[in-house]
Chain A
Amino acid sequence: MDNGKLDVTKAIEAVKRIKDIVDANKEYLTELDSAIGDADHGINMSRGFAKALEKVKSNEYNDIGSVFKDVAITLMSTVGGAAGPLYGTFFMKASMKLAAQKEADLSLLAQAFREGLQGVVALGKAQLSDKTMVDALTPAVEALESAAKDGLTLKQGLEKALAMAEKGMKDTIPMVARKGRASYLGERSAGHQDPGATSSYLILKAFYDALEG
């Protein structure tokens, strides 16, 4: 019976949904990245998650941590741009929290995503308002944590996180980039939505959708 938690089947479903949503938005991500970056984010993310899906579909898993770990290793090697090590680290750090766990409730997933976010910050050294994925992930993780404290279900928590990630993503539009290739543009980076914040939103959307069953 469906208890609303993230188990191995749903974790793999989430990877599939990430692949699908990234594919559906490939042109859009590339367009955003061509405005302020090197125009490869859509293609890179699409390639990375296609490989990640191939990997997790070909394996048997007893715990969700191992699913996350395989995604992490695949992304690091196949994405190609900065998103590879960054999302790779996100999934790798999260996988450590989920190791040996058959399923995750809201509280555990919030902890795992917090670890992931900390890994991203440690690697990329981006702070809030630097116009990066951190601007979408930070409010999303905070929303997950506060929803867990309020005793909400995983689905409800992800819904709140998704709303905050969307807001965080849109908030990057007026920002001046201080990290990554976009920072070379300085003031000219203002007025464009950050591609990394956008893909982070899409990833959270895929997790939310995967719980639909």
Chain B
Amino acid sequence: MSERTERMPSPRRHPMTDSTVLSVDDLTVTVGTRNGPVRAVAGVSWQVRPGETFALVGESGSGKSMTLLAATGLAPRAATVTGRVRLLDDELTALPDDRRRKLRGRHVGFVFQDPMTSLNPVLPVGRQVTEAAEEHLGLTRRAARDRAVELLELVGIPSAAGRVDAYPHQFSGGMRQRVAIAMALACEPDLLIADEPTTALDVTTQAQIIELVADLQARLGTAVVWVTHDLGVVAGIADTVAVMYGGRIVEQGPVDAVFDTPTHPYTRALLAARPDPSRRGEDLVAIPGSPPSPLDLPPGCAFWPRCPVRADPRCEHELPPLTPVGDGHTVRTFYRGEAG
């Protein structure tokens, strides 16, 4: 697990800076289970710069959520985390729990997948929205209430002043997700981590939430890490993207490079599997098989059993290294893309 990614290129829409908001270096997560230790994430490295959007793409079980939990110190107790994580100027992995908790609360906001369960059903939304601000900025009750109204307005909740005392069940799914976003933004975080925030919503609401986050990001300059399995979302909002499979990053780079010249057979298969209106009437393309169990990963490339290419005899037994193929574009495969 000693590979290092190449330095990331300058983000598309933002001036290049050397500073990173969150930088993850050689992160490995091993979870102790009844069947022995399971390596859920192996040697993952990536960075997010101020104002940038980084998308982490993968199927269920590919390790994307675990990567984020471990990076922010929220991994379950059964997990052993190694590697280095840097949040702004602090080495998170070197800090005691309490200090890490405070830094996380102050600088990172989280939006979870299902807004039906991520809000406390017995607390009025106004109280929940400012919870982080009360804890970390020492807001008084009155100031917190004003701030709650402000935040709810910011995320586009109509007549916010009248709704701060309403309970979560009085909101629709999309409105709840807006509340959850307001909650994440309460401390004006430098980084917003969105873990499949649109998966539980219907399609029109999804688009509104994506637009809202993009708009807020432009206004507040927050860096965003967006976890998703929806490549359409990635193309629309991300500056850089990392594709995960079997606990490792298999392809990583600027979103244009990855989408225009996908190199890893898995990325290619994912892109080919997107529904395409111009192929209306044809069967949808699917990747045969299912992702490997982290309990039983193949010795070589994790994608080998499902790979349509199998370009190299080493694929089955030897783990391909992450190799640069373009400006900041790295890929973990022996395959060197003939047209496909």
Partners in one complex: no
